[in-house]
Amino acid sequence: MSLLEKRYRSTLRVLPAAYRAEREEEMVSAYLEYAGDVPDERGPRPRFGEIASVLALAVRVRLGGHGAAARYVAWGDAVRLVARYALLYKAATAVLILISMIIATQDIEQSGPPMSAERTVGVLLALVECLWLVSYVALVRGAARTAKLAALAGLLAYVAELTTVVINHDPLRLTYLIWGAVPVLALFGAYHRDAPPPRHSWVRALYPPLAGAALIYAGQAAVGAIANAADMTPELAVVAYTVFGQTGQATLAVLVLAVLYLARGSEAATLLGVAILATVLLALRLIEVLSPVSQNPGVLPALAIQSALLAVMAFTLAITGLRKLPALPYLRERPG
Amino acid sequence: MNITEPMFLALTALVDEPRHGYGIVQEVERLSGGRVQLKIGSLYGVLDRLAAEGMVALDREEVQAGRLRRYYRLTDEGAGALQSEADRVTANAAAATTRLRARSAALGGAS
């Protein structure tokens, strides 16, 4: 076996084993004919374009769409669910930011004097959040490319946050990046040519972010009202906001969805999708444990309880979902 | 199903005879005047989609110099889909040509 063949076969290992069992020999044969004879002494390697095409094929096969094996379609559907739910959360948050910009302008006013660079940056950062709303609406309206571009632009704004993490050593900043990276990765990975998003009405595109924003707002207002009414100490209020703040609300929503889907005996794709979301939220909660907020009395136990619930749910969903995954069929096309 | 340019060219490559993977890559490059150079990973993505739609099917297998070659052939469904797409592209090209001629005539008349 030549060095080039050896290296190309190594590249093909990113493909699922069942797919390789069916395709590897003919792919290697086609590639070696394409590349021609290259002596080992030259240390040949598959070109970047070849490797990229195999990687793209691996993602498309594993996160299958139309015409793929049912097992891979289930994985694809799971990641598509992650994309939709994660985008919905971001879109609902964007609606709240938009409304607060229009109704209550104090946040913008506090960011700096009129026409100052600080205020301009404040307004721009708020508008950047609206990209997630654009992305969600585009996805539900069936415009996958617009959804991807808007989400990618939103993520790029968060990449600047990563610099802040390095400078300030504030782990909480990392959570923004994760919240942005999850829908982008899921969108680009699972919504490919074989899995275009179905086109829904404007009502169906706009209603969930509006309803989500109302829920988030109601949750935060309720915590504020209870804190005031019960005359909570500032320490206890921090605990309440940790449990019922935005990430806390997302955690509660995922836990409720998990119980609901498990009780209904939902299909593998749904269970695995919610398991992925629960795992992401678990990671976010663990990052919060490392942040200065957790130094407040009572916050650490609250985070620990939510993290434990997320871990149990993620594990249960994953095990149940994996057991329900359809078996792989015999992939080979038959003559006829 | 939306037929992309690589799919269109791969189907066209199989019209005259069944071809194996590298044979399709070569023919697609020839048909496109060197503009479309399919990578092997992309080729099999295209073949997977076409096979799933029943547009191509496995014709035969051969082993040459110890290497497996699978030949693919165009099915009747594939020929029908290719014909529809070719008609659509031809109609679009004809519409564009007609308007461009009219524009040239108008510009010629104006000058």
CA distance A1 to chain B (A): 11
pLDDT category at A66 given cuts 50, 70, 90 is confident
Mutation site for A-interface testing, chosen from B40, B60, B75 by largest number of A Cβ within 10 Å: B40
Average pLDDT, integer, range A72-79: 94
Asked if A32's CB is within 8 angstroms of B67's CB, the reply is: yes
Asked if A52's CB is within 8 angstroms of B22's CB, the reply is: no
CA distance A323 to chain B (A): 26
CA distance B52 to chain A (A): 5
ipTM, two decimals: 0.86
For residue A334, pLDDT over 80 is answered with no
- Kindly list the residues from chain B whose CB atom is less than 8 angstroms away from the CB atom of residue A24: none
CA distance A29 to chain B (A): 6
- Kindly list the residues from chain A whose CB atom is less than 8 angstroms away from the CB atom of residue B43: 30
Q: Which residue has the higher pLDDT, A31 or A219?
A: A31
Asked if B42's CB is within 8 angstroms of A53's CB, the reply is: yes
The mean of the pLDDT values for chain B is 92
For residue A108, pLDDT over 70 is answered with no
CA distance A28 to chain B (A): 8
Asked if A194's CB is within 8 angstroms of B39's CB, the reply is: no
Of A23, A67, A335, the CB nearest to B49: A67
pLDDT category at A170 given cuts 50, 70, 90 is low
SS (H, E, C) chain A: CCHHHHHHHHHHCCCCHHHHHHHHHHHHHHHHHHHCCCCHHHCCCCCHHHHHHHHHHHHHHHCCCCCCCHHHHHHHHHHHHHHHHHHHHHHHHHHHHHHHHHHCCHHHHHCCCCCCHHHHHHHHHHHHHHHHHHHHHHHHCCCHHHHHHHHHHHHHHHHHHHHHHHHHCCHHHHHHHHHHHHHHHHHHHHCCCCCCCCCCCHHHHHHHHHHHHHHHHHHHHHHHHHHHHCCCCHHHHHHHHHHHCHHHHHHHHHHHHHHHHHHHCCCHHHHHHHHHHHHHHHHHHHHHHHCHHHHCCCHHHHHHHHHHHHHHHHHHHHHHHHHHCCCCCCCCCCCC
- Kindly list the residues from chain B whose CB atom is less than 8 angstroms away from the CB atom of residue A19: none
Please name the residues between 20 and 39 in chain B that touch chain A, using a CB distance below 8 Å. Answer: 20-22, 25, 39
Asked if A52's CB is within 8 angstroms of B45's CB, the reply is: no
Residues A173-211: pLDDT tens digits? Answer: 778 788 889 999 999 999 988 888 889 999 999 999 999
Q: Which CATH number fits domain B5-100: 1.10.10.10, 1.20.1070.10, 1.10.357.10, 1.10.3720.10?
A: 1.10.10.10
- Kindly list the residues from chain A whose CB atom is less than 8 angstroms away from the CB atom of residue B44: 23, 27, 57
Average pLDDT, integer, range A237-266: 87
Where do the structural domains in chain B lie, given as residue ranges? 5-100
